[in-house]
Amino acid sequence: MTKTFSPLSVGYDAKRIVRNGTGLGNYGRTLVNDMAHIVPEGTRLRLYTPDLGRQELRSKIIESPSVQFVCPNGYGFPMGKSLWRSRFVVKDLLRDGIDLYHGLSGELPIGIKKAGIKTVVTIHDLIFMRHPEFYNPLDAWIYARKFYRTCHEADRIIAISECTKRDIIEYGKVDPERIDVVYQSCAPRFSMQISNEELQQTSRKYRLPRRYILNVGTIERRKNALLAVKALPFLPADVSLVIVGKRTKYADEITEYLRKKPALQQRVLMLQGVSDADLAAIYRQAACFVYPSRYEGFGLPIIEAIHCGLPVAACTGSCLEEAGGEGCLYVSPDDAEGLAQAIDLLLTEGASKADRQAACRAYIRRFEGNDVASRVFGIYEKLTK
């Protein structure tokens, strides 16, 4: 497939690549790395970022002759870097002969359309419009303004799920023909084998329970981890819950809930600041993955869990069925007992377990990195012909 591609000069909004350890950062890093493997010789992938950000994130970008970071010159004054990213980067794109610019996190610089540079933007979700109760009102208003401008200026829009595409059409009044649904892939580390020694080291490092179900994601109200906590009393006493993610005030609510339930306190472990390598090892040792989020743009942790061989129980109401397929189980995001029943089924099923795992693995082949990158590069080619 890659032999049919022609070389291009592609610019990317790389701020999240070097600053965000999860979410939008993971999307950008994975896509660029996958792209570097499939693009034809002579292609230039330029990562435009206001600064070089965090070295540990920047180092995750593949070393390739086609990939290069680009930072601004002369924008050291207050707000200068922000202005460069939102407007003045266009001059650098023209200087560098960029054929096409891809806004990886739902934004495009002002003036890029007038400059004649073709544009693609990835919209991950419109949760700030679908569920504004999860956002500061001012933030939601700012995000909405950016969305309206960007989706009407972009030449093509990539939605990371059919669910997000429906939201773009509903809230942005966008012609469906301008939207391509291209799912995202996950980092290769989740499909790699891990030695028993590494697994044991990780278990000791974090004092993991002997038998646990796992939840991964920012510990915030929308992701609804408390539902998994409330499901625990319906499960065998030897089953614990490990929650991995950045803490917010919602984590304090979970802690307070557990304080009033002494019998549950010893069965819940919340972790943050976990390295990528350790996270994969934590996945590998779990008995089941649970993802009770009320609304997502895609649900990447489900893909990560399936790559690690875990059965998955998730919630209805957004796009999670798209991420996991029919091999996963889905319940209402308000039904703790129903979630417990789904988990118990996954923990105790016998001969059907292998069939379920095979179905899940077959389903997630559509998210393979080279296939995702090839689809995105195909969009670039059509726009620049």
Determine, yes or no, domain membership for 4.
Answer: no
Residue 363 and residue 373 in one domain: no
Instruction: Give pTM, 2 decimals.
Output: 0.92
pLDDT in tens, 70-106: 999 877 666 888 999 999 999 999 999 999 999 999 9
**Whether 359 and 220 share a structural domain:** yes
Supply 58's token pair.
């920047």
One domain, residues 97 and 236: no
Residue 79's pLDDT is: 81
Three-state helix/strand/coil letters over the chain: CHHHCCCCEEEEECHHHHHCCCCHHHHHHHHHHHHHHHCCCCCEEEEECCCCCCHHHHCCCCCCCCEEEECCCCCCCCCHHHHHHHHHHHHHHHHCCCCEEEECCCCCCCCCCCCCCEEEEEECCCHHHHCHHHCCHHHHHHHHHHHHHHHHHCCEEEECCHHHHHHHHHHHCCCHHHEEECCCCCCHHHHCCCCHHHHHHHHHHHCCCCCEEEEECCECHHHCHHHHHHHHHHCCCCCEEEEECCECHHHHHHHHHHHCCHHHHCCEEEECCCCHHHHHHHHHHCCEEEECCCCCCCCHHHHHHHHCCCCEEEECCCCHHHHHHHHCEEECCCCHHHHHHHHHHHHHCCCHHHHHHHHHHHHHHHHCHHHHHHHHHHHHHHHHC
The per-residue pLDDT for 3 is 44
What tokens appear for 280 in the block?
């994969």
Task: Specify the pLDDT at position 6.
Answer: 79
- The structure tokens listed for 115 are 């400059």
Smallest CA-to-CA distance from 217 within 160, 168, 279 is with 279
* Spatial CA neighbour of 319 closest among 161, 184, 130, 125: 161
* Residue 2 located in a structural domain: no
**In this structure, is residue 297 part of a structural domain?**
yes
Do both 221 and 337 map to the same domain? yes
Residue 88 counted as domain residue = yes
Judgement on whether residues 262 and 331 belong to the same structural domain of the protein: yes
d(CA 318, CA 315) in angstroms, rounded, equals 8
Q: Residue 1 falls within a domain, yes or no?
A: no
Q: Which residues have C-beta within 8 Å of that of residue 148, sequence separation ≥ 6?
A: 172
Task: Tell me whether residue 42 is in a domain.
Answer: yes
Residue 74: predicted pLDDT:
73
Q: Are residues 298 and 347 in the same domain?
A: yes
CATH classification at residue 152: 3.40.50.2000
Q: Do 76 and 158 belong together in one domain?
A: yes
CA of residue 365 relative to chain centroid, distance = 17
Per-residue pLDDT, 373: 96
Is 226 a member of any domain? yes
Does residue 97 fall inside a structural domain? yes
* Residue 121 sits in the same domain as residue 54: yes
Range of the domain at 222: 188-367
Q: How many structural domains is the chain composed of?
A: 2
d(CA 78, CA 267): 48
Q: In this predicted structure, what is the pLDDT of residue 1?
A: 42
The residue ranges of the chain whose pLDDT is under 50 are 1-3
Are 252 and 378 in a shared domain? Answer: no
Co-location of 61 and 123 in the same domain: yes
Mark whether 174 and 247 lie in a shared domain.
Answer: no
- pLDDT, tens digit (0-9, with 9 covering 90-100), for 317-367: 989 999 999 999 999 999 999 999 999 999 998 768 889 999 999 999 999
Give the whole-angstrom CA distance, residue 325 versus residue 86.
Answer: 38
Say if residue 265 is in the same domain as residue 353: yes
